[in-house]
Homo-oligomer: A and B are copies of this chain.
């Protein structure tokens, strides 16, 4: 109902996974499912439940695969995304995406209603009070 709320400090295990906080897990179980799409912004990642992501995708369906502008538009979105799944309560962020967002052990999850974000603790500390 109320979506992803709050800020959580979590830590990645030796393989780059983290436990989804119980509150977030509850949202996923109630409203969505275990399939997620993670997309990279410059300094952080956004995690969409698959059904939310699907809404974006629908808008891109009609585009012409042989038209340059249409392709560019699609590529920009799809190239930075990756499908993930919650397995044994954990999510693995692929290495490529960990690198983009510069994640090390300490990361911060930030709820944003129908999606949530993943920040490195360092970057988050820098921006959280700014504005």
Binding site for B on A (CB under 8 A): 1-8, 23, 35, 37, 46, 48, 50, 53-54, 56-57, 59-60, 64-66, 71, 73-75, 77-83, 94, 96, 110-115, 117, 128
Contact = CB atoms under 8 A, between A and B. Distances in A.
B80 A7 contact: yes
Contacts of A83: 1-2, 5-6, 23
Contacts of A65: 46, 48, 56, 112, 114-115
Given A1-B50, A2-B57, A96-B6, A79 B113 contact: no
A78 B35 contact: no
Contacts of A57: 2-3, 113
